[in-house]
Structure 1
Amino acid sequence: MPPRGDSRGGPRGAGPGRGTPRGASLARGGGRGGATTRLAHHAIPSSHITTVGVKRPGYGTGGRPLPIFVNSFVTSIPEDIIHHYDVISPSEKTLPARLNMDLIKALQLDVAPAIFTPPGVYDGRKNLFAARELPFGDGTNTKEFDVSLSSNRVNVGGRGPKVYKIRLTKVAEINPEVLKRFIAGDQSHDNTVLTAITVSSYLRSQLSPANDNISGKALNVVIRMEPTMKYPFNVRSFFTNRETKDIGSGLQLWRGYFQSVRPASGRMLINVDISTGTMYKAGPLLGLCLEFLNRSEPNALATSRGFPDRERLRLQRFISGIRVITKQPGADGTIQQTPRVIKKLSTAGANALNFTMREGGSMSVADYFHKTQNQKLKFPDVICVEVGSGALIPLELCIVPPGQIMRKQVPPEKTKDVLEFATKRPKDRLASIVDGLAVLAYGQSEYVRQFGMHVDSSGPLKVQARVLKPPVLRYGAGSKQPTIRFFRPAEVTGWCIIVYEQHRRFGESAAQDMIAGLTASFRDVGIRFPANYTPLVKWENGQGRIEDQLRTAGGDVNRRHGKPPNLLVVVLPEGGNDIYTAVKHFGDITMGVATQCLKSSKCFRAKPQYYANVSLK
């Protein structure tokens, strides 16, 4: 058992980790007592269909016909009633969506397979759909189950697996016939239609935004169920390692897929698109930390050897929330423990962290692992991670499992890599979508089959489009080549440029080109500024105090031109978000002066249109 971060009672174990992906869980309020829930039968009562939406009068004929492929696939609509169940875990707090999915999977396959044959589909939260009414027995609509996740992993403290209570209550029956009538133009758009769409999507996608109501999930849940059980997922997409890119700093990009069931005229479609997920790199946690900090020597993470607290906190923000597994030697080799979630980093190394044993006396974390688990640390000076239970584990003993989505903001210096990976030409994008059909596996999905859905995965839908003749635009007073000017342009009484990019990357020549581009754009759009005005240009260090540097630049302008500037133009390096924030705080809050930040990479050989957009700001 790893030692805890405090000195209470020596080394105590942690419960099962609360790993990512996070999200709402099946542990939400509701279902007090044993009250019977009245079912909502979504039949087709003709009495409630009083009007039908106005149909379009016809299709347009203008323009040039053009056949195109769209990223959609035709699907059929289920024939039979779909049964909707509310899922509640009365004794649990909010659990991660992935854990909820694993619990429902264990319930259907291991705990009560006779009831869940064929298995239902689940959204990771509160809703489960079944293709038949679940035989709870005794004529009741509610049944409670005890579910545990059995595995060959070591359970902390040698205790038995944790038991979760799950209660299912039938709440509705959904008739897909209303959806058929809707797409045929014979049914109004109401909640019964939305509910049917939800079931299809539900089968497709299993996890929906928190503000979605039950309507609109059904068909989507059906088609998302299969990939959600196999791959990492978030609210809208799931991700595979079929197409990846290593972008450094301990991060990888994975290609993902988004899918949604949409009604169309006379048919139902599944819209499919690609997405991008940012993942933590799998492998030793120590290596991940070193890559993030751009270090190569493990002892660089030892506070006793000069590891700065600022860097430790930056690393802590990056890895907090990651699930890790630990290695323990056993009789049959290395055994992996239950995943645990990193809470924070220790302020000292494993050999300097002491805790009180239950039997009395104290022991360091490094000695504990050496004496009790025969694991002598290679880097005892390196800091430890503290997991949710308070247990302290050396970095070198932690492994990061694959497929963990980073839910924090992508580092600014990696934004360009993400955009390059996510951006594809239309032809390549459609090819990637078609290739992804093997992952979506509509034809092989038992969930899609059992609900009676049939997806035409032979190829994307081909439709007839029209290229319309572009309208004629006229600017100004009939001018053919006008200069568009602002209606009420501002006046620049004084300005200066502060450059935070390195001088060798953005030198005098680049600065003068930028000044020429800006002044020409100012003049074109009507912004007034002093004639023969040479703005001050200063190069500053972004590690310094930004506020003092900007204040000094303003004072220099005041001494040179007799009045302070009312515009500060700041050139930022890649990853200069902290500088940007400080500049805006100084301009908007401290001094009340206009500031305009430009990326140095955008200023090189910038076109007039770029400076025109800057002038508009």
Structure 2
Amino acid sequence: MPPRAAPRGAASLRGGRGGAARGPIEIGLPSDNSHITTIGVKRPNFGTGGRELPIYVNSFVTTIPEGVIHHYDGFLVISPSEKTLPARLNMDIIKELQTAVAPEIFTPRAVYDGRKNMFAVRELPFGESNSYEFEVALIGARAESANARGPKVYKVRLNKVAEINPEVLKRFIQGEQSHDNTVLTAITALNVVIRMEPTMNYPFNVRSFFTDRETKDIGSGIQLWRGYFQSVRPGIRQMLINIDISTATMYKAGPLLRVCLEFLRRDHPSQMSKQHLHERDFLRLQRFISGIRVTTAVPGAGGRIAQTPRVVKKLTRVSAREEMFTLREGGTMSVAEYFGRVQNRPLQFPDLFCAEVGSGAKIPLELCTIPPGQIMRKQIPAEKTKDVLEFATKRPRERLDSIKNGLDVLAYAQSDYVRQFGMNVSSTGPLRLQARVLKPPTLRYGVGSKQPTIVPNNGSWNMVDKKFYKPTSPIIRWILAVFESQTRFTAQVTNDVMKGFTEGCKEVGIKIEPTKIVRYGTGHTKVRDFLKSIGMECYRETGQPPQLYVIILPESGNDIYTEVKYFGDVEMGVPTQCMKSLKCSRAKPQYFANVSLKVNVKLGGINTIPDPSSVSVLTDPHMPTIVMGADVIHPSPGSDGRPSFTALVGNVDSDTAKYIADSRVQTSRQEMIADLHPMSMHILGMYQRYRQNVERRQGTTSNPKRIIFYRDGVSEGQFKQVLELELPLLKKACADLNMDPKITVIVVGKRHHVRFFPQSERDADKSGNCPAGTVVDREIAHPTEFDFYLQSHGGLLGTSRPAHYSVCFSYPLLYFADALQSLSFALCHVYARSTRSVSIPAPVYYADIVCSRAKNHFDPSDSWDLIGSDDAASVDTNRAMDSLDKFQRGFKPLHHSQKTLMYFSVS
């Protein structure tokens, strides 16, 4: 779309920092791409702002095949029961088909994605029908449920559906071809080609595979394996393979009973019997092992023992001694008796539960074995998160070395599949390119600051000698509630914490008086009743309710925290600030300075604002702007029946520093925000009222002229859905409020594997990462659409991940590359609870927090954690809908007094 004249006061929008308007044609862009269609906005130009920085990117150039690729889609692997088979079993079936059943047809061998797509470099000889059906027999451990009566036979039907001319990819990366289905299918084909060899030989998970070259046992029956991610991605004028290291949680190989004992932290199998195992532990164990593949030794003809693979469905409720089944010839027998008398395998632990497998058979735990290399596709226990992070975290130089070493494992040059498709992967190492480092925004602090403005250094600054831009009203009535024993948290410690907290607030400009209400709760205290009672005590003494509760939590205080947040956010509408006893009891002034950052915004203050001169796009008085952040969070794997939560956050002030939020419940794993219309109405209405009542804008001057809508959490394949399903809801909300702002929709992606590495140590920060503000919009960016990668935060541990920004909608086109990159970078500096820039714009970060906090909108006295299914296999559609309805009815709205405050500023 050609640029239009800049509106009044917006001269700096199209160029860089206040430069002249710039047209869409630049060196590197095709001179005529009017025939190209895109899902998002076409790239108008490339950014030029900032200083140059030479970096490596973990991408490797690859050639595009020359010959036609034959696509066999609608591909079916059919078992006698017509059910969907695991991808690993499908791969084994295809391997047997190509190497043993019909090698003369599959020469050279085709590649297969484990589901429904097969690609071949020559047309398979299927005759005029272009279709053929094969029978493949699998013997032993590879069959899903082979038995002593013989191998299991699968039917495989192939249908040719298309021919792919790789020429479309050459045109696409040159910016001369639309991003259509032919391009998507061609990229899919190349991905299947490079993944075929490793997925045949290693455990795999979609785009990664894992080896046992580097492992770590983290207890609870779990191991970590190092793996390699690989993905073919189009760049500008080149096709790339993005390679990264990855981590998988694996079930520990060996006897299932031993793994169960490790998970429950028990020493002996007798401690797992029904009388010794609490119901909650039983359900935890069942969730952990459901879906796991085990092998069992089954006696066969001639004394042969077959290791039969089976999938655990659930645990029996009674022991092997008590579990009865009906014999074919009549009568009943217990499982323990059957294995002892019929199979001559007396059980050592007959009082333990049995594993019920997919076929319905009940197998004693002691007879099941977990094969090696089995990925655990569930959320890891919370206490293991630290172990996973430690294993997965590598400093930039170490990570880049691991990626280079991974090329030996990937062995593209030795892969028959890669060679026969004519792909040659660069052996010169990772891609080198020139990034740019953007200038950070200037931040403004309040009256009384010795340094009223500051320019962050590598995304960091401090609060020394600075006052908040707008401190909250004086805190006169506040309460200190301590949920620790007085022997551990003594009166002296309490006084020290109170002193540290009040001095921390005063240092940044908050007026606060010492509290006279300090009360101790115990482990048996009913949290909300206790907080209400001391709140009433404050009311009796002052005639007014408390302004703030400061809560001291024990180290294992998650349940208390949940009660506190429900009490403050939903029930009573009083801001709460929690501190862990261990941290605050020995804290230095810096700790309380960080606490004050949260307290100030929770009570209505503003910590800092970007100086108007450095973000004129946001602060132009003629173009008032709302910046929104939207996100959806889904239940963890295996949590069937639980809903997804949505959040929308937006600023209400002209300085884009004060935000409000709205959150809802919706159908589990639904990505698009169903209630975006009423949520947008709420944010827009609050913006309008704040502009009228606080900033004294009248009439239509209180309406926004622009909306910048940052959407988090959607994949590239869902961009079209955002435009078709969510954008109309946002537009309708504006229309219903008689507003007509210009809308820009930007998707912020974090779940990708692109990483930046400085070429020289002198260009790195202290953590070895590229400095905050590093931006790339050329070689690795989209060939035709408006996108860029921005690493907006300074590194701490490991290798920093840049955020990927894709401009999906902007009509008319208001922002060119430099303006949008600088704007996004500036918004990463206004995250209220930190004196560091963050990895994504603050409203998006807030939306993520609001989603996570949504679970605190349910009354903790109800058993919400039990609404979902503990037996994932038993969930059906009706039950899921009933569960969603119950969640929606139980989801309590935010208390009205909290709706205008940044209650979500954590803790």
**Same fold? TM cut 0.5:** yes
- The alignment covers a number of residue pairs equal to 542
What is aligned with 1:455? 425
* Aligned-partner residue type, residue 68 of structure 1: I
Change (3 A) 1:383 1:582: farther
1:155-174 matched pairs, under 5 angstroms: 158-174=148-164
What is aligned with 1:88? 76
Give the Cα–Cα distance (whole angstroms) in 2 for the partners of residues 486 and 437 of structure 1: 54
Give the Cα–Cα distance (whole angstroms) in 1 for the partners of residues 568 and 297 of structure 2: 52
Aligned counterpart for 1:558 among listed residues 536, 543, 550: 536
Give the Cα–Cα distance (whole angstroms) in 2 for the partners of residues 51 and 152 of structure 1: 51
What is aligned with 2:62? 75
Aligned counterpart for 1:119 among listed residues 104, 109, 126: 109
CA contact (8 A) 1:84 1:130 kept: yes
* Aligned-partner residue type, residue 292 of structure 2: I
Aligned counterpart for 1:358 among listed residues 328, 353, 356: 328
What is aligned with 1:190? 179
Deviates more, 1:154-163 or 1:434-443: 154-163
* Aligned-partner residue type, residue 392 of structure 1: K
* Aligned-partner residue type, residue 434 of structure 2: Q
**CA distances 1:166-224 after superposition (whole Å, capped 9, x unpaired):** 22211111111122233345x133316633xx54xxxxxxxxxxxxxxxx412222112
Give the Cα–Cα distance (whole angstroms) in 2 for the partners of residues 415 and 191 of structure 1: 40
Give the Cα–Cα distance (whole angstroms) in 2 for the partners of residues 312 and 101 of structure 1: 35
Deviates more, 1:580-589 or 1:74-83: 580-589
SS in structure 2 of the partner of residue 300 of structure 1: helix
Change (3 A) 1:424 1:301: same
Change (3 A) 1:234 1:555: same
- Does residue 316 of structure 1 match 2:286? yes
**CA distances 1:429-471 after superposition (whole Å, capped 9, x unpaired):** 1111112222222112211111100112342223334445555
Change (3 A) 1:375 1:518: farther
CA contact (8 A) 1:327 1:337 kept: yes
What is aligned with 2:252? 281
CA contact (8 A) 2:477 2:538 kept: no
CA contact (8 A) 1:536 1:557 kept: no
* Aligned-partner residue type, residue 110 of structure 1: A
**CA distances 1:457-486 after superposition (whole Å, capped 9, x unpaired):** 342223334445555544446725532244
Change (3 A) 1:509 1:335: farther
Give the Cα–Cα distance (whole angstroms) in 2 for the partners of residues 333 and 602 of structure 1: 64
Change (3 A) 1:593 1:234: farther
What is aligned with 1:549? 527
Kindly state the Cα deviation for residue 569 of structure 1 after the two structures are TM-superposed.
4.7
What is aligned with 1:409? 379
SS in structure 2 of the partner of residue 84 of structure 1: strand
CA contact (8 A) 1:281 1:400 kept: yes
What is aligned with 2:272? 301
- Does residue 180 of structure 1 match 2:150? no
What is aligned with 2:135? 146
SS in structure 1 of the partner of residue 528 of structure 2: helix
What is aligned with 2:98? 108
**CA distances 1:128-187 after superposition (whole Å, capped 9, x unpaired):** 1111111112x22222222332236896663333333222211111111122233345x1
Kindly state the Cα deviation for residue 494 of structure 1 after the two structures are TM-superposed.
3.2
Change (3 A) 1:153 1:124: closer
- Does residue 254 of structure 1 match 2:225? yes
Deviates more, 1:94-103 or 1:519-528: 519-528
SS in structure 1 of the partner of residue 378 of structure 2: coil
SS in structure 2 of the partner of residue 339 of structure 1: strand
CA contact (8 A) 1:587 1:593 kept: yes
What is aligned with 2:515? 533
CA contact (8 A) 1:572 1:580 kept: yes
Kindly state the Cα deviation for residue 535 of structure 1 after the two structures are TM-superposed.
5.1
- Does residue 240 of structure 1 match 2:211? yes
CA contact (8 A) 2:218 2:387 kept: yes
Change (3 A) 1:428 1:453: same
Kindly state the Cα deviation for residue 291 of structure 1 after the two structures are TM-superposed.
1.0
Give the Cα–Cα distance (whole angstroms) in 2 for the partners of residues 168 and 312 of structure 1: 45
Aligned counterpart for 2:365 among listed residues 395, 398, 401: 395
Kindly state the Cα deviation for residue 55 of structure 1 after the two structures are TM-superposed.
8.2
Give the Cα–Cα distance (whole angstroms) in 2 for the partners of residues 577 and 335 of structure 1: 50
Kindly state the Cα deviation for residue 288 of structure 1 after the two structures are TM-superposed.
0.8
Give the Cα–Cα distance (whole angstroms) in 2 for the partners of residues 596 and 347 of structure 1: 44
- Does residue 424 of structure 1 match 2:420? no
SS in structure 1 of the partner of residue 64 of structure 2: coil
SS in structure 2 of the partner of residue 223 of structure 1: helix
CA contact (8 A) 1:485 1:524 kept: no
Give the Cα–Cα distance (whole angstroms) in 1 for the partners of residues 46 and 141 of structure 2: 63
CA contact (8 A) 2:148 2:300 kept: no
1:418-497 matched pairs, under 5 angstroms: 418-467=388-437, 470=440, 472-476=442-446, 479-480=452-453, 481-486=465-470, 493-497=477-481
Kindly state the Cα deviation for residue 326 of structure 1 after the two structures are TM-superposed.
1.4
Kindly state the Cα deviation for residue 253 of structure 1 after the two structures are TM-superposed.
1.5
CA contact (8 A) 1:178 1:192 kept: no
CA contact (8 A) 1:495 1:569 kept: yes
* Aligned-partner residue type, residue 363 of structure 1: M
Give the Cα–Cα distance (whole angstroms) in 1 for the partners of residues 162 and 345 of structure 2: 56
SS in structure 1 of the partner of residue 247 of structure 2: strand
Kindly state the Cα deviation for residue 302 of structure 1 after the two structures are TM-superposed.
0.8
- Please give the TM-score of this superposition, normalised by the length of structure 2: 0.54
Name stretches of at least 5 consecutive residues in structure 1 with no aligned partner: 1-47, 200-215
* Aligned-partner residue type, residue 172 of structure 1: A
SS in structure 2 of the partner of residue 158 of structure 1: coil
CA contact (8 A) 2:312 2:355 kept: yes
SS in structure 1 of the partner of residue 67 of structure 2: coil
Give the Cα–Cα distance (whole angstroms) in 1 for the partners of residues 493 and 391 of structure 2: 29
Give the Cα–Cα distance (whole angstroms) in 2 for the partners of residues 601 and 147 of structure 1: 62
CA contact (8 A) 1:77 1:268 kept: yes
**CA distances 1:292-339 after superposition (whole Å, capped 9, x unpaired):** 1111011001114x3222221121111111111113467898834321
Deviates more, 1:347-356 or 1:166-175: 347-356
**CA distances 1:569-606 after superposition (whole Å, capped 9, x unpaired):** 55556676555445544555555554455556665647
CA contact (8 A) 1:327 1:397 kept: yes
**CA distances 1:43-90 after superposition (whole Å, capped 9, x unpaired):** xxxxx9945998887884862x54332211111111111111111346
Give the Cα–Cα distance (whole angstroms) in 1 for the partners of residues 498 and 476 of structure 2: 14
- Does residue 228 of structure 1 match 2:228? no
Deviates more, 1:436-445 or 1:286-295: 436-445
**CA distances 1:92-132 after superposition (whole Å, capped 9, x unpaired):** 23322222222222222222222221122222222111111
**How well do the aligned residues superpose, as a CA RMSD in angstroms?**
3.5
Percent of counterpart pairs with the same letter? Answer: 57
* Aligned-partner residue type, residue 183 of structure 2: L
Name stretches of at least 5 consecutive residues in structure 2 with no aligned partner: 1-32, 454-464, 602-904
Deviates more, 1:106-115 or 1:488-497: 488-497
Give the Cα–Cα distance (whole angstroms) in 2 for the partners of residues 105 and 575 of structure 1: 51
* Aligned-partner residue type, residue 368 of structure 2: C
